[in-house]
Structures are given as C-alpha cells and as structure tokens.
Amino acid sequence: MHSFNYFEENNTILVTAIGSFSADCVITNLRRSGYNVIGCDIYPSVWIPVSEKCNYVYKAPLAIEEKDYINFLLDLVHKKKINYIVPLTDVEIDIINKYRNKFNNVVICTQSEEVLSIARNKKTLCEYFEKDNVINIPAFKDVRELCDTFPLPAIAKPIHGRSSEGIQRIDNTKELDTIKGKENYIIEELIEGNIYCVDYVRDKWGADFSIPREELLRTKNGAGTTVRIVPDSDLMQMASYIGKKLNVRGCINMEFIRSKDSTYYLIDINPRFSAGVAFSNFIGYDMITSHLNSFLDKAIEPPISFREQIVCKYYQEKLLWKS
C-alpha cells in the first residue's frame, strides 16, 4: 500500500489498472472534480507515476486469479468505503461483471451485462450487426465452420480477445489450415484501410456525443500515439446509432476501418475508456466526468465543436525513487 493524504469517507472511487494508458487522464479528471481516488495495480505504486495523483494506492492480485481478485476488491470496498468502481481494462471488466452481484451498494461504472455480452464477444458482435442496414462489418466465420472458399488474406481473432492479443494474419491456404478447428476464434475478411477510433459517451436519457480520430501511429497492441482528430459526421452518426441500438450508458470506444472506397466497417467495440481518451480530453471534452455522470443519473457534458487537428502522445523521464 502507498498512501498520500487523508480524505473523508464519502465520494470515493476505486480506479483499477492505474498503470494503463488511460489512467492518468481518468484520475486527473476525477480528482479535479472533487472525488477521492483509490488506485490499484498489479505493479508496485513506486513504478507508476500516476500513483502520486491518487489518495491511496494498493497492489492488486492478477484479475485472472478470480477469487483472490474479487476478495481483494471487496476488502477495499469495505475498508475504504468505496462508492464507485471504474475498471480500466477488459479482463477486469469481464471478471467484475461475472461477480457483479457481490458488490452491494457499489456502483460498477461499466456497461450492463447485456451490452458486455455483445461487445466482449467478437462473434456475437459480428452476428449482431451482420444484417444491419446502417453498420457494415467484414465478412466473418467461426474458424470451426471454415471452408476453403473464404476470401484471403484474412484476419483470425480470439473471440474474447483484447488489445490485439492473439490476432493472426492469414495469407494463404497453408496458414488457413493451421487455424481451422481452433476453438474460440473467428476469421474476418481483411479490409485494407486506415483505422479510426471513436470515443463515445451516452447518458440514461439518450443524450450522446462522440469524437472520432484517425490513428496515424499506433502501438502493436492498438494504442494510438499520433492521431488526427476528425469532425466526421458519418462516423459520429454511426456511433450514435450503435450507442442507441445497444443502449450504451457511459463511455466506450468503437473502432472502424475505412476502406479504399471510403466505406466504414465496424471492427471492434471496447466497453471501456480507450487508451487514447486523453486525446478527446485534450481538445476540450471531458469523457471521464460524462462517464461518471451517466451512472449518477446526471446529464453528460454538453457537446463541443472541434476542428480537424493532429495530436500526439509522447513520453518523458520522471524520477520515481532513488537511494
């Protein structure tokens, strides 16, 4: 445990995975809004610069160690009188959702079980929009149903994948044979084009807002580092349509690919803050406060106007400890 300052036992939020890309923006905005923030992560707080912005930080067990992880959270909820939990990674969202009914009187600031059952299952997501008249998706198959006529090149994805882990490009029939019969994978038609991420937020009354960006440079696990913010009305309308159809509440992000003929294809929905949510914050929209407001039965922040612009994320050294 690493403690920093005393606070009252009210208005307290637990933010998980504070070493993740979105954590600094999330915690900064919550503290600015007057909330007390308890942080946790699998790594020691001294390794994580954003720890300094939390009221308290605790070292957490791995989320995949389900019982230990949930008991850890329940203990913190009791010890620190936590009112809200904001998970920042997919694996934590999956586990917390599974044990949601154990968190009495605590607001879990994630999507409903119904939304998560679609967004966290790539096969279900594809099937959900397969015959939609508004949203395009790539052609797809469960790999266990593959035939030799599936168009190549293609992309094989874990059905419950996250952060681009386990994705394989399939260029020929020999590679196709290696993926056939694999459990918990789908294969999708490979569409060449640029990746667009849309930060999207919606409240309980259906008011919503989104900020699209083209990802010019991104890490191997799909986090944009240099982006072009684009006021693209087509993308914003599609995001709004998806949000209404799924009955989204709070902030999520959607990924699209724009083909060479300028058609947008939905390729993923991440039911959490995007790694690049700070880009939306940087240009003037507070997705974090809006996300929390949506769970407090408050209105989200009003829409803003914004121009096309290029924004980058960069790193700098910071001394965390020395002997």
Token digits of residue 259: 């083909």
Q: Which amino acid is at 185?
A: Y
What distance in Å separates the CA atoms of residue 264 and residue 137, rounded to the nearest whole number? Answer: 8
Specify the residue for token string 């029939």.
Answer: 173
pLDDT at position 39: 98
pLDDT at position 86: 98
pLDDT at position 111: 98
Specify the residue for token string 């967004």.
Answer: 119
Contacts of 136 by beta carbon, 8 Å cutoff, 6+ apart: 263, 264, 265, 266
pLDDT at position 6: 37
Put simply, whether the predicted model's pTM sits higher than 0.75 gets the answer yes
What distance in Å separates the CA atoms of residue 61 and residue 68, rounded to the nearest whole number? Answer: 7
Q: In what order do the strands lie in the sheet with 224-229?
A: 264-270, 250-259, 193-202, 208-218, 224-229, 309-312
Percent of the chain with pLDDT over 90: 77
pLDDT at position 10: 59
For residue 144, the tally of other CB atoms under 10 A from its CB is 12
pLDDT at position 143: 80
Residues in the chain with pLDDT values less than 70: 1-10, 147-148, 163
pLDDT at position 8: 45
What distance in Å separates the CA atoms of residue 275 and residue 20, rounded to the nearest whole number? Answer: 8
Q: At what angle do helices 90-98 and 66-80 cross, to 10 degrees?
A: 80
